Amino acid sequence: MKLTLSVIKADIGSIAGHVAPSRRLREAVEAFIRERAPSLLLDHYISHTGDDIAILMTHTRGEGDEQIHKLAWDAFLSGTAEARQEGLYGAGQDLLKDSFSGNVKGMGPAVAEIEFEERPNEPFLFFAADKTDPGAYNLPLYLAFADVMNTPGLILSPKMSQGFRFVIMDVNHTSGDRVIELNAPEEIYDIAALLRDPERYVVESVWSRASGEQAVAVATSRLHNIAGKYTGKDDPVMLVRVQMNFPATGEVLAPYAIGHFVGGGMRGSHQMPLMPVTLNTGISYFDGPPVVSCAGFCVHNGKLTEPIDGFAQPFWNTVRDRVSSKAMDMRRQGFIGTAMLPMSELEYTGIAEKLASLDKRFAVRAETTAPAASKR
Ligand code: 13P
Ligand code: 13P
Ligand code: MG
Ligand code: MG
């Protein structure tokens, strides 16, 4: 059967700052979806990562379907009403438009969707990250789909040896989707040249060149490009189909052991290492560190198994310890140099205003003539 996986997530309010949504808020979203689901969905799964709530839905209506998007939008509105009642911080934070217009893209919530012919066994992974932007997935996807050092399947599996096609978006271009398609392995240097700048160039999707099937869908929205000002970090979701023609689950998860530095953390303005965490984990140290969770499923005739927690296995405890040390090391240098994001990415206007006012106080010193060297 032709199945669509849609995951739509939003920050609609949280307890104690940008930490985690309340139980009542989660229940309000869940109740709304459960009530409306029978006519639209085959199945759903609701979770939170940091302060973001994600609704994963299975259905047969295709990508960008108005009714599916409206269902999620209305569920977030219902959650926002609950958040306001409880006085949660940032109630309705990611709902940037007043009225729904056909599709939640460009309205604040993040969306990742894949439509495909369901395989007899259909394993996939659902990632959700908080306190970071969609470029956080650039390195893990490059390693999983283009680097033999990470993914032996690229040389062991004849299908995978045919490589993968990367669709990369220039997220600074706001008047329409500006994308480029590049093939691995022939063009890996070109892919790398773009992905090295994760605040501008973001992997949007990855496709098998052997079968033409889509393996990956990433939510690419940049909130500050929609709102024109800081309203919160993008906190991207991602779907990755695994096994057979695609990398194995372990090959997709392995890069998260690096704890690479990503844009995010406190006030969306810092460089912090990405920590793989268990499902439904909140936020703490320095409004971070940026976190990523992974729920693994099999789906059959649109019905989801229970999730397995991709980062709960004991191996990841050591990774978390290492990432904590990296985070504290970076924080020791406070606001200096690479600890903070470059000016173009700073999520507040305070520094720009400060620099503009200081600029007026700069003076070019009058040239002084060097004292004549004494001659004997
Ligand atoms: P403040 O609202 O306290 O500035 O914190 C950041 C934020 O709210 C972004 O949504
Ligand atoms: P969120 O985008 O997760 O709401 O975080 C905002 C922030 O500025 C935290 O310091
Ligand atoms: Mg928030
Ligand atoms: Mg968030």
> pLDDT value at position 13?
97
Under a CB-based contact definition with an 8 Å cutoff, are residues 265 and 3 in contact? Answer: no
Beta bridge partners of 36: none
pLDDT at 232: 66
Phi/psi-derived region of residue 364, left when phi > 0, alpha when psi is between -120 and 50, beta in every other case: beta
* CB atoms inside a 10 Å sphere around CB 141: 25
Q: How far is the CA of 76 from the centre of ligand 4 (A)?
A: 14
Helix, strand or coil for residue 105?
Answer: coil
Calculate how far, in angstroms, residue 239's C-alpha sits from the geometric centre of ligand 4: 18
Residue 148, pLDDT above cutoff 90: yes
Instruction: Judge contact between 119 and 45, C-beta under 8 A.
Output: no
The pLDDT confidence band at residue 375, using thresholds 50, 70 and 90, is low
- What is the band of 370 on the pLDDT scale with cuts at 50, 70, 90? low
- Closest residue by Cα to atom 1, ligand 1, is 267
- Of all atoms in ligand 1, which is nearest to the CA of residue 89? 8
Ligand found nearest the CA of 223: 2
SS3 of residue 53 by DSSP: strand
Identify which of 11, 12, 18, 349 to mutate to test ligand 2's pocket (most ligand atoms within 8 A of the CB): 18
Name the one residue in this structure whose structure tokens are 């994600």. 54
Residue 56 near residue 45, CB atoms below 8 Å: yes
Query: Does residue 144 sit in helix, strand or coil?
Result: helix
Average pLDDT over residues 130-155: 98
Residue 232 Cβ contacting ligand 1 at under 6 Å: yes
pLDDT for res 229 = 66
pLDDT band at 15; cut points 50, 70, 90? very high
- pTM score of the predicted model: 0.94
The catalytic residue among 142, 233, 234, 287 is: 233
The CA distances from residue 46 to 30, 250, 282, 288, in Å, are: 7, 24, 15, 22
230 is catalytic: yes
52 a catalytic residue: no
Is residue 159 part of the annotated active site? The answer reads: no
Residue 299 CA to its chain's centroid (Å): 23
- As a whole number, the mean pLDDT across the chain is 94
Question: Among 132, 64, 52, 61, which Cα is nearest to 95's?
Answer: 52
* 194 CA → ligand 4 middle, Å: 26
What residues contact residue 156 under an 8 Å CB cut-off, 6+ apart?
none
Whether 106 lines ligand 1, by a CB cut-off of 6 Å, is: no
Question: Does residue 376 carry a pLDDT above 60?
Answer: no
